[in-house]
Amino acid sequence: MGSCATATRDLEAAIRAPRLNRQKISQDDVDFRNPVRRCDARPMKPALTRRQTMRVMVIVKATEDSERGFRHTAEEKAMMEAMGRFNDELHKAGIMLHGDGLKPSSQGKRIAFNGPRRTVIDGPFAETRELVAGFWIWEVKDMDEAVAWVKRCPNPMPGPSEIEIRPFYEMADLQPGSDTEDHGKR
């Protein structure tokens, strides 16, 4: 089965090649690529970190309002609609991967870890402002772009509230000698 599988894999890649008329990379496109050659062709390390699209989690922090749960008031419905329009914009911009709202922490549980012990703690939890009420996962070009998009977000809560942006670890961050720590800083 081994070689058959090899053939399948080769071909899956090769279906693409003829359609796209790739002279330059066609031999790399399939299995016959030689990574050394590419390194030789471009010995320079990438200086541009700005253009590596990054994944961020955008965290909507809870407030007393969100911890009370969704109420079908006109105000909250209007906020939901505004948020829906914002979500449309995110989709159209091509940056949205995922997003959802979370129920209040009264419906959550925490599991505390200490050595071999596992203790289950029922919500609600204190320190409301540190809780998560909702989140998105976006793919953006850099932190500046994420910030610019978050600023466009309609008020997520009736009162003052916060949204936090946290970049994901990417494959490149975990490779030795990667120079991507300044991902978001350009």
Partner 1 sequence: MTAGETHRAIEAIFRIERARLIAGLVRIVRNVDLAEELAQDALVIALSEWPRTGVPANPGAWLMTVAKRRAIDAIRRDKMRERKHEEIARELGGAFDGTAEVIEAAMNDDLNDDPGDELLGLIFTACHPVLSADARAVLTLRVIGGLTTEEIARAFLSSEVTIAQRLVRAKKTIGKAGLTFEVPRGADRAARLSSVLEVIYLIFNEGYAATAGDDLVRPSLCLEARRLGRMLAGLMPEDAEVFGLLALMEIQASRLQARIGPDGALVPLTEQNRARWDQLLIRRGLDALARAQALGGDGPYALQAALAACHARVHDWADTDWPHIAALYDRLGAVMPSPIVDLNRAVAHSMAFGPEAGLRLVDEIADAAALRNYAPLPAARGDFLFRAGRRAEARSEFEAAAKLTRNLREAAFLLARADACD
User: Interface residues with partner 1 (CB under 8 A)?
Assistant: 1-12, 14-16, 18-22, 24-25, 27-29, 31-35, 38-39, 41-42, 44-46, 48-49, 51-53, 88, 91-98, 137, 139, 141-142, 144-145, 147-149, 151, 171-172, 180, 186
Closest CA to 95 of 133, 141, 51: 141
Question: Least CB distance from residue 117 to partner 1, whole Å?
Answer: 28
Question: Least CB distance from residue 32 to partner 1, whole Å?
Answer: 5
Q: Where are the extended beta strands (E) located within the chain? A: 54-61, 96-101, 109-114, 117-122, 132-140, 163-167
CB 109 within 8 Å of CB 121: yes
C-alpha 73/C-alpha 158 separation (Å) is 12
Of the pair 21, 119, the CB lying nearest partner 1 is at 21
C-alpha 91/C-alpha 152 separation (Å) is 14
DSSP 41: H
Of the pair 130, 173, the CB lying nearest partner 1 is at 173
Question: Least CB distance from residue 80 to partner 1, whole Å?
Answer: 20
Question: Least CB distance from residue 68 to partner 1, whole Å?
Answer: 30
